[in-house]
Amino acid sequence: MRILIVGTGGVGAAAAAIAQRRAFFSHMVLADVDRERAQAVVERLGEPDRFSAAQVDASDQAALVALMRESRADAVLNACDPRFNEPIFFAAQEAGPTYLDMAMTLSQRHPEQPFERTGVMLGDVQFEASQAWEEKGQLALCGIGVEPGLSDVFARYAQDHLFSAIDEVGIRDGADLEVEGYEFAPTFSIWTTIEECLNPPLIWERERGWFTTAPFSEPEVFEFPEGIGAIECVNVEHEEVALVPRWVDCKRVTFKYGLGQEFIDVLKTLHKLGLDSTDPVTVRGVQVSPRDVVAAALPNPATLGDKMRGRTCAGTYVTGTGKDGRPRRTYLYHVADNETTMREYGSQAVVWQTAINPVIALELIAAGTWSGAGVLGPEALDPVPFLDLLNDYGSPWRMEERA
């Protein structure tokens, strides 16, 4: 298999480092708008026969098509901000490789009732193209990071192997990560965090279908395992809510993020001041988007690994009736410890936990274990080989029964 990764930020670089230990691919091209950044990743990998660098503007669909053809990619992994999903996804549709991403095309709020009804939903643009992919026998595996990604695999596993009937699939994400030496330093892209936390959160219910609420709704204290402890979680717009109901039979799907009160306050203040906006403002004759400036003023989370301490937990809390007919509440989860990911891969925990999942998916696709056509979420495919391979990669998943 020949792989093209578009975007060599934290996640793209970590995916390459994780894949390097596996034999399932013959060559990987690492492309970035900044050729030197891609080249630096290739040099760090130190295996010039298997890895090469390229330059591409991820907003330029024609350039992407040319690069996909030139690199003879069997699969392309989109490791860019979701802003670039459309050009990369449609370039893949044109050029032919299997397409993978870790977030779906962005939503647009309902013009009149943004906090009640959906407008354009996460992934809508991609799902609309599904039939065209299906007709070509081409696979777009969307949302195959950790969340969405592993969380969706957990939901499918719960349906297939743990539950006879599911009430709610509730993704719950929390961490006890701290960054030394900074008063405030997000451990994940602040641009994306603002996008997902300030957009109207998406909820699905069998009777109502998809609907939205005001940001930070339904606060809930969730107990995270392995000593991370209790964290205040709130509803957040996330792909799982758009994906899970399409393939998993349940009554309700939610996503709650353990932001903690300080982060919620920061996001509310950014919104109050208009600093979450992506619409450019004019500053001394120059046009910039306030959200880009917020991102630029904060340290790049991918560079903070050696100052971070703690663990991040991604998981799926499933409630309903077990295979034995009795009530069941199970949290399926995966914990990444920053100390381990830094020592073994030089990547910080959140970035690394995102990056391992598309590599596993690529390995399953290379082996023919996972295959399909059209635009699919991770829960459309058999979860068992994925979860087995995650253990095989030395980063086991776990589950915890709750009373």
C-alpha pair distances (Å), 72 with each of 27, 139, 170, 198: 10, 16, 40, 39
Mark residues 320-339: x for contact with a second copy by CB under 8 A, - for none: --------------------
Least gap, CB of 182 to a second copy (angstroms): 9
Please pick, from the candidates 112, 207, 227, 284, the single residue that binds a second copy as defined by CB under 8 A: 284
Closest approach, Cβ 183 to a second copy, in A, equals 5
Is 14 a residue that touches a second copy (CB under 8 A)? no
* Residue 87 near a second copy by CB under 8 A: no
Residue nearer to a second copy on the CB measure, 297 or 403 = 297
CB of residue 348 to a second copy, shortest distance in Å: 20
Q: What is the secondary structure of 118-183 as a DSSP string?
A: -SBPTTHHHHHTHHHHHHHT-EEE---BBTTBHHHHHHHHIIIIIEEEEEEEEEEEEE--EETT-S
**Among the candidate windows 63-71, 104-112, 141-149, 295-303, which touches a second copy by CB under 8 A?**
295-303
Beta carbons within 8 Å of 31's beta carbon, 6+ residues apart: 4, 5, 6, 7, 8, 38, 53, 54, 55, 56, 67, 71
Q: How far is the CB of 271 from a second copy (least distance, A)?
A: 8
User: How near is the Cβ of 53 to a second copy at its closest, in Å?
Assistant: 21
State the minimum distance, in angstroms, from the CB of residue 277 to a second copy.
7
Question: For strand 75-78 and strand 2-6, is the pairing parallel, antiparallel, or unpaired?
Answer: parallel
Helix (H, G, I), strand (E, B) or coil at 233: strand
Applying CB under 8 A, does 283 fall inside the site for a second copy? yes
Q: Within positions 233 to 272, which residues make up the interface with a second copy, using CB under 8 A?
A: 265-266, 269-272
Structural contact between residues 109 and 276, judged by C-beta atoms closer than 8 angstroms: no
Binding piece for a second copy, criterion CB under 8 A, among 283-291, 336-344, 353-361, 384-392: 283-291
Q: What are residue 124's phi and psi, to 5 degrees?
A: -55, -45
Q: Which 141-200 positions form the footprint of a second copy (CB under 8 A)?
A: 183-184
Report whether 247 contacts 153 (CB < 8 A).
no
State whether residue 307 is helix, strand or coil.
helix
Contacting positions for a second copy (CB under 8 A): 183-184, 265-266, 269-275, 277, 281-284, 286-290, 292-294, 296-298
